[in-house]
Chain A
Amino acid sequence: MDSFPLRQKRSSSQNLSALQARLQPYLPTAKYILKRIGIYFLTVLGAVTLAFIFFHLMPGDPLSIVFSQLEKTNLGRVTGGAEVAEAYKRLLGLDQPLPVQYLLFLRNVLIGGFDLGPSFVAFPTSTRDVIFRQLPWTIGYFTSAMLIAWLIGTTIGALLGWLRRIGLTSVAVGIATLLNITPVYIIAIAAIIFFGYHLHWLPTGQPYDPGLTPNWGDIEFIKNVLRHAIMPIASVVLVWGASFSLGMRSLMISVLGEDYLSYAKAKGLTPFMILRDYAFRNALLPQVTALGIALGNTINGVLILEAIFVVPGVGGLFVRAMAIHDFNVMQGVVLLSTVAVLTLSLIVDLLLPFLDPRIRRSND
């Protein structure tokens, strides 16, 4: 009778070790995922803190600047700017000591769902609403352009790498190099000059013809919007597509030098199978990472492009906010894009172990 619990214990520990053995292969992946998510939350916290520091430790507070400017521009007609600024500061909690402000800020942003207070560009409307109202334009124009560029660029790059021995590809590589180093805004202005002012083929700016009222059910309106989107999207696709294709090409070339490709060839696989299953798949991984980074950094390019093409997106919003020192909106755009970059790179990093067994097995 004594031996029974003992035996049971043994069998349960056997079970446990069997379970452990079964889980063993997944352990590094689980560890990797947990670690990565932990880093994500830390960096988000860090970025929010940095944004706070950046916007609150600047010399001169925004409200006083805004109201003193108002006094200056409307000389004599507006007075009492300082008092009004004080009143607003109390209203917005800006009279509290900095650490308290920081905690309030953290609470509002992280728990309050990106609550950054009212905007100045459209006063009583909240910063969140103003930004989210403009966001679809930015995503529709530039995120989609980036995705198109990635698809086209990766395909072309893979082909250029595969056909690297054919002399003609060096012409394509030369063109891609030139496009890659040209800033998007220069291509955009050149396109506006040529297709807009010279040939009069395409509209030079604005999201749709000024006379139209937005009606997304109307096919004519959608056509108009698409016509206006051609040049901005095409300039992003040209430059970023070139950059993606050059990246993919050099990845392909380095993969093509690997021994396992010679082995695959020796096994008698057809060139197409080698291209698809061996070279392309292995070169694709860093390319996915590149897409994540590029998507996150959209905001950098968008700032100038949206101003050039007069698109009502977050970039244009930022420039407008800057003109009247609307710190809430500027802070919101910076935070939003930072969190977007971090989230995208988290998603990419979490996808990688499923795409690449080497990452799955390594312990790092």
Chain B
Amino acid sequence: MINWKLLLGILLLTIILFTAAIGPMITPSFFPGEDPAQVGSYPSLESPSPQHPLGTDTLGRDAVVIIINGIRLSLVIGVVGGIISTLIGVTIGFIAGYVGKRTDTVLRVIIDMVLVIPVLPLLLLMSLYIPKWDVVTMGVLLGIFGWAFVARTTRAQVLSLRERSYVDLARLNSEGTLEIIFEELLPGLLPYIFLGLAGAMVGNMLIEAGLQLIGIGAGLPPTLGSIMGRAYGAGALSLGLYGQILVPAGILVAMFLALNLINMALEERFNPRLRAFAEER
């Protein structure tokens, strides 16, 4: 049976990624002789017209073009942040779960503490010290704050994987610790790591958009979030330039939705109780 959730999720994701990859090559052909992504090409904050379906932004660029270019910039933030938080989170979670005992207790308290400390205010605080924003800095900053959740899930997974009989068998076979970690445990963890990475990526992009709305990270190149933030700050709502906020938001939500659909489909496939329930229908 074809799982429509999986299909829809992959379709959505493909469309967005395809737009991000191909879009910037195609858009210039709609604007012969001009550079729609160049600051000051047009008057700023123009109302939507056939030439500029979403109007122009505060710096006089075509909104549609910068939104299409912005997907890629946003993805960079997401990927950088996602990789950093996954690396930190998986390492700490793995050590906690695998070493156990005292180390686990200490690390678990630290993870729990980081989880309860409200991240956003601290992130805002850190942002005060950043003299000049670029996408990588933003990604690193978001990544540093996002690892605790990854660490918690990784720890739980390692705790259960460690007790499996094939791991015991490997131990009896006098495999080294590194061998056990990389050959027995990590393969079992990979699906969770990838799902966590994908979730963290989109999560970071959404947080970035939220930060931009309250004016943090101004001066970034036009990511989806910064397009929303700049339009919002310039009063796009009262000017009727709704599209400049809703379209980037919609793209971010669609990306998140796609990942969630894929995640749900995979879970239905691999979680026996949910699978029984799905087949029952």
Chain A interfacial residues counted at CB < 8 A: 49
Is A189's CB under 8 angstroms from B237's CB? yes
Residue of chain B at shortest CB distance from A338 = B117
Residue of chain B at shortest CB distance from A54 = B122
Q: From A50, A58, A164, give the contact of B113 (CB < 8 A).
A: A50
- B84-141 contacts to A (CB < 8 Å): 109, 112-113, 116-122, 124-125, 128-129
Tell me, rounded to whole Å, the shortest Cβ–Cβ distance linking A317 to chain B.
11
Tell me, rounded to whole Å, the shortest Cβ–Cβ distance linking B206 to chain A.
5
Given A186-B253, A307-B214 in contact, is the A300-B237 Cβ separation under 8 Å? no
Query: DSSP majority for the A interface?
Result: helix
- A270-321 contacts to B (CB < 8 Å): 296-297, 299-300, 303-304, 307-308, 318-319
Which A residues are CB-close (under 8 A) to B125?
54-55, 58, 322, 330, 334
A46, A319, A322 — most chain B CB neighbours (10 Å)? A322
Residue of chain A at shortest CB distance from B281 = A165
Tell me, rounded to whole Å, the shortest Cβ–Cβ distance linking B239 to chain A.
10
Determine whether A211 belongs to the interface, using a CB cutoff of 8 Å to chain B.
no
Determine whether B260 belongs to the interface, using a CB cutoff of 8 Å to chain A.
yes
Is B213's CB under 8 angstroms from A308's CB? yes
Q: From B121, B128, B240, B249, give the contact of A325 (CB < 8 A).
A: B128
Is B113's CB under 8 angstroms from A253's CB? no
Is A318's CB under 8 angstroms from B260's CB? no
Determine whether B232 belongs to the interface, using a CB cutoff of 8 Å to chain A.
yes
What CA separation (Å) do A297 and B117 show in the bound complex? 9
Query: DSSP majority for the B interface?
Result: helix
Is A296's CB under 8 angstroms from B116's CB? yes
Given A183-B206, A322-B128 in contact, is the A341-B122 Cβ separation under 8 Å? no
Given A193-B246, A303-B124, A325-B128 in contact, is the A50-B210 Cβ separation under 8 Å? no
Is A304's CB under 8 angstroms from B121's CB? no
- B234-271 contacts to A (CB < 8 Å): 237-238, 240, 242, 245-246, 249, 252-253, 256-257, 260, 264
Which B residues are CB-close (under 8 A) to A193?
237, 242, 245-246
Which A residues are CB-close (under 8 A) to B276?
257
What CA separation (Å) do A224 and B276 show in the bound complex? 52
Is B117's CB under 8 angstroms from A50's CB? yes
Which 10 pairs across A and B sit closest by C-beta, in order of nearness? A341-B116, A300-B120, A186-B249, A307-B214, A299-B118, A181-B256, A337-B118, A304-B210, A334-B121, A193-B242
Is A46's CB under 8 angstroms from B128's CB? no
Which B residues are CB-close (under 8 A) to A55?
125
Is B214's CB under 8 angstroms from A43's CB? no
Determine whether A47 belongs to the interface, using a CB cutoff of 8 Å to chain B.
yes
Tell me, rounded to whole Å, the shortest Cβ–Cβ distance linking B51 to chain A.
23
Determine whether A233 belongs to the interface, using a CB cutoff of 8 Å to chain B.
no
Determine whether B209 belongs to the interface, using a CB cutoff of 8 Å to chain A.
yes
**Sample of 4 more A-B contacts, CB < 8 Å, known A46-B109, A304-B120, A338-B117:** A42-B109, A43-B116, A183-B253, A185-B213
Q: From A165, A186, A345, give the contact of B116 (CB < 8 A).
A: A345
Is B121's CB under 8 angstroms from A303's CB? yes
Contact with A along B200-216 (1 / 0, CB 8 A): 00000010011001110
Residue of chain A at shortest CB distance from B202 = A181
What CA separation (Å) do A60 and B128 show in the bound complex? 11
Given A254-B273, A322-B124 in contact, is the A182-B118 Cβ separation under 8 Å? no
What CA separation (Å) do A47 and B122 show in the bound complex? 13
Determine whether B277 belongs to the interface, using a CB cutoff of 8 Å to chain A.
yes
Determine whether A333 belongs to the interface, using a CB cutoff of 8 Å to chain B.
yes
Tell me, rounded to whole Å, the shortest Cβ–Cβ distance linking A250 to chain B.
8
Q: From B113, B122, B256, give the contact of A43 (CB < 8 A).
A: B113
Residue of chain A at shortest CB distance from B258 = A181
- A324-350 contacts to B (CB < 8 Å): 325, 330, 333-334, 337-338, 341-342, 345
Is B116's CB under 8 angstroms from A342's CB? yes
Contact with B along A30-61 (1 / 0, CB 8 A): 00000000000011001100100011001110
Which B residues are CB-close (under 8 A) to A177?
257, 260, 264
Tell me, rounded to whole Å, the shortest Cβ–Cβ distance linking A46 to chain B.
5
Q: From A46, A189, A300, give the contact of B118 (CB < 8 A).
A: A300
Is A189's CB under 8 angstroms from B232's CB? yes
What CA separation (Å) do A345 and B113 show in the bound complex? 12
Residue of chain B at shortest CB distance from A296 = B116
- B125-163 contacts to A (CB < 8 Å): 125, 128-129
Contact with A along B219-242 (1 / 0, CB 8 A): 000000000000010000110101
Which B residues are CB-close (under 8 A) to A186?
209, 249, 252-253
Given A46-B109, A197-B237 in contact, is the A297-B118 Cβ separation under 8 Å? yes
Determine whether A222 belongs to the interface, using a CB cutoff of 8 Å to chain B.
no
Tell me, rounded to whole Å, the shortest Cβ–Cβ distance linking A50 to chain B.
7
What CA separation (Å) do A47 and B264 show in the bound complex? 35
Determine whether A82 belongs to the interface, using a CB cutoff of 8 Å to chain B.
no
Residue of chain B at shortest CB distance from A331 = B125
Given A43-B116, A299-B121, A318-B121 in contact, is the A190-B213 Cβ separation under 8 Å? no
Which B residues are CB-close (under 8 A) to A189?
213, 232, 237, 245-246, 249
Residue of chain B at shortest CB distance from A314 = B121
Residue of chain A at shortest CB distance from B256 = A181
What CA separation (Å) do A177 and B120 show in the bound complex? 24
What CA separation (Å) do A189 and B245 show in the bound complex? 8
Determine whether A178 belongs to the interface, using a CB cutoff of 8 Å to chain B.
yes
Is B238's CB under 8 angstroms from A318's CB? no
Contact with B along A184-200 (1 / 0, CB 8 A): 01100110110011000
